[in-house]
Amino acid sequence: MEIKRCFLKLADLYKQPRRSRIISALLVAVMIANPQAAFAGAKVDACAAQAANPFEKGFADIGRSIEKINTSRAIALCRAAVAAEPDSAAAKAWLGRALWAAGNAPEALALFEEAAAAGNYLAQSILGDALIIGEVIDPDPERGVSLLRLAANGGFGPAQNSLGLSYDFGDGVEQNRTEAARWYRRAAFNGVPRAQSNIGLMYQDGLGVDQDYVAAFAWFERAAAQNDASGLVNLGKMLQDGMGVPVDNARAARLYKRAADQGDVYGLNNLGFLYESGRGVDQDYEKAAALYLQAADQGMALAQHNLALLYETGRGVEKDINRAVELYKQAAEAGEVRAQINLGLLYMNGDGVEKDYKQALRWTRLAAEAGHPVAQNNMGYLYENGFGVPADIDKAINWFKLSAAQGYDLAIKALERINASQSQGSNNGGKVKSK
């Protein structure tokens, strides 16, 4: 019998996930004034010019994204603004934003607490997300949701998107996909690009709403028009897969490149795949490897797996089985099932590592228990032949059946072979093929 290397790059892992509660970069669109947005003093005016978000009402021309804040200047001017107008919640929120950009989370959070208590929606939104994520402050998801709800009910788009995330994934509130879609939609209509991508994914997957590829495509286009990486990737994915639209790999490649140019790991990985496969672009393994490397260096397990395949086969890079093993291990430890399968096969065959059936069994089982048909087939092989475990034909058959139920051809053939052998009173084991 055969065991094949898992070269598959499943479509589901190419789309940008909805979970993107990005507070470190504050990639948000603020389309509505909050109670503290008004100001009269020149010092607060100067602070706003340095630290206001460009999507806050009235600041489209002077606001700036957080990565473009001159933190030293903004902090100095906003400190002066807070000193001059100590009751200005907006000034405190903007000073907090500047400090946040500079990496001073403790002081920023203290200011957000003050501004949030005064009803500032921006501060409530950022503080709410921080409490849910729990990286720079002790986690308190329930309080985080309460703060988000205050800002969301006030019409603050970023908080509406974050509240949608909470309902989507059950963070601090009972999971409710219908409610998640409702809040995503409200934020999307307020112009929040990540919310536009999120509601697009809900329509694409039929979560909380009826599945509707036309609506998904339209929302992704709106997010992509704002150069949102998630929208770009998801729009490209629909075009790549032909979901409700004709396949257009060339346009998908252009969209992925725009996301990749922002350093987005999904854009980098997906563009790498198009170069590897020659879809929509001229096939170029070296470009594919370079793109995978950029995503892999950011810790993306799928890109680590894809780069490992190139090192294993010597495409676009000099063949290096040791480097392939290293990358497979990184991806496998992060839960990438295809890497677990391929690492298991390397241990099974002794390619680049000492042959070790127990390690082969360990990694293969992880992928098999995650439901991957290739891994389930490989588990059947290990049990049938007693590699790493005592031979057990019944367990082998059970694994083959799980794989065959998903239509995996090798498992179907294995069951046919075993049935024929048992009817003849004999059992013939097969050989492993790595590819």
**320 by DSSP, 3-state: which?**
coil
Start-to-end CA span in the chain (Å): 12
Asked if residue 24 has pLDDT above 60, the reply is no
Task: Indicate whether 238 belongs to any domain.
Answer: yes
**Helix, strand, coil proportions of the chain in percent (round to 5)?**
65, 0, 35
Span 16-26, mean pLDDT? 48
Q: Which domain holds residue 248?
A: 192-255
Instruction: Give the distance, in angstroms, between the CA of residue 262 and the centroid of all CA atoms in the same chain.
Output: 15
Task: Indicate whether 231 belongs to any domain.
Answer: yes
The rounded mean pLDDT for the chain is 89
Residue 32's pLDDT band, with cuts at 50, 70 and 90, is very low
Q: How high is the pLDDT of residue 16?
A: 59
Task: Indicate whether 365 belongs to any domain.
Answer: no
CA 267 to each of CA 51, 300, 320, 350, 396: distance values in angstroms, whole numbers, following the listed order: 29, 11, 26, 34, 40
What is the rounded distance in angstroms from the CA atom of residue 189 to the CA atom of residue 117?
A: 27
Task: Indicate whether 213 belongs to any domain.
Answer: yes
> Higher-confidence residue: 53 or 90?
90
Contact 96, 108 (CB under 8 A): yes
Contact 273, 310 (CB under 8 A): no
Give 67-108 pLDDT, tens digit per residue: 899 999 999 999 999 999 999 999 999 999 999 999 999 999
Task: Indicate whether 105 belongs to any domain.
Answer: no
What is the rounded distance in angstroms from the CA atom of residue 311 to the CA atom of residue 305?
A: 10
Number of domains within the chain: 1
Contact 233, 270 (CB under 8 A): yes
Task: Indicate whether 30 belongs to any domain.
Answer: no
Domain harbouring 243, CATH code: 1.25.40.10
Give 203-252 pLDDT, tens digit per residue: 999 999 999 999 999 999 999 999 999 999 999 999 999 999 999 999 99
Q: pTM to 2 decimals? A: 0.85
Q: How high is the pLDDT of residue 30?
A: 33
Task: Indicate whether 208 belongs to any domain.
Answer: yes
Q: How high is the pLDDT of residue 9?
A: 32
